[in-house]
Amino acid sequence: MDRLFTQVEFGPHKVEVPAGGYYDRFRMNPNLDEVARDPAAGNIDWFRRIPKQMLASRIGPTWAPNFYYRTSQVQLLFLAPMSRLRAMLPMPLEPLRAFPGYGLVALTFFSYAVCDNDPYDEVSIAVVIRRPGARGSHTLELRNAMRRRHFYAHVLALPVSTEIARVRGVYGYQLPKWLAAIDVSIGADVNARIAGPNGVPDLTLSAPLPSLREVLPQSQMGTTTMINRVDGQWHQAAVQTNTLSFAQRLFPRNVTLLRNGGPLSQLLDGLGAKTVVRLDVVKDAQVVLNLPTPLRGFI
């Protein structure tokens, strides 16, 4: 075994994690005073307000929620035909209409530099959906979601770059995760890419870096609630984000997304995701990922 890694038990699974890393040292229940002394973690005051609990999960008792102390992300928000989205969503999920005949698909590249289960990267393709049980105007619901910075989504693909992230997602959340080579870089330009199963590029994203805006902690909070089936029953898992440095562009120019025929390229093509309506670049953010909870009364 590589001396830089150690094997740990994660529920019934055995995975390799960085020796001396956060998971090896804390097992998802970090000493926040020690984390605060890590210069890479930044200011962690927000996390002190969110107590961890030992909760039952599909992989046995685990400490939750999961803390991501230093993260970044790049997101492209596409228009896609409602007919294509409905065909891809399991009933009774319904896409949220943004324009007549069109809903929204989010392609997001994540980089988690400091977190409870050690650094990794991730790519998500998700459909923005109506809040479970919502009725009435799509336009009003979209406006309220934007005002509250709270969106609901169904994830169709979520590849990751480390085995512990894959195991957690597949067995803890029943999310569509697999291992892939992923790179995310936010410097003078924005660059991100993911390889397909054969190692050749699947998606490659590049764009000029927009002017970033820095904000006070907890002044730009947002929530995404993932809706998916766990053991055949509908569940929801809230992802809370404390954004610290970001930029946003509507109908951005000079954004290049190369699709090379891999699984994510095929998924975007199948969804009819072509027109980019928004580019979001988050240079610095903190994230809390909660365990899934049953969605009562949703069939």
Provide the CATH number for the domain around residue 222: 2.40.400.10
CB 257 within 8 A of CB 273: no
For residue 159, the enclosing domain spans: 66-294
pLDDT averaged per 10 residues, the chain (length 299): 78 91 95 97 96 91 96 98 97 96 98 97 98 94 95 98 95 95 97 94 97 96 97 96 97 96 98 97 98 84
Whether 92 maps to a domain, the answer reads: yes
Total structural domains within the chain: 1
Whether 54 maps to a domain, the answer reads: no
Cis ω on the peptide bond leading into residue 65 (within 30° of 0)?
A: yes
Would the pTM of this model clear 0.85, i.e. be above it?
yes
Whether 122 maps to a domain, the answer reads: yes
Long-range contacts of 270-273 (CB under 8 A, 24+ apart): 270/84, 270/88, 271/78, 271/80, 271/84, 271/85, 271/88, 271/105, 271/125, 271/127, 271/156, 272/80, 272/81, 272/84, 273/78, 273/79, 273/80, 273/105, 273/107
Distances (CA, A) of 224 to 140, 212, 280, 288: 18, 22, 15, 11
Whether 5 maps to a domain, the answer reads: no
Whether 299 maps to a domain, the answer reads: no
Cα 45 from Cα 223, distance rounded (Å): 19
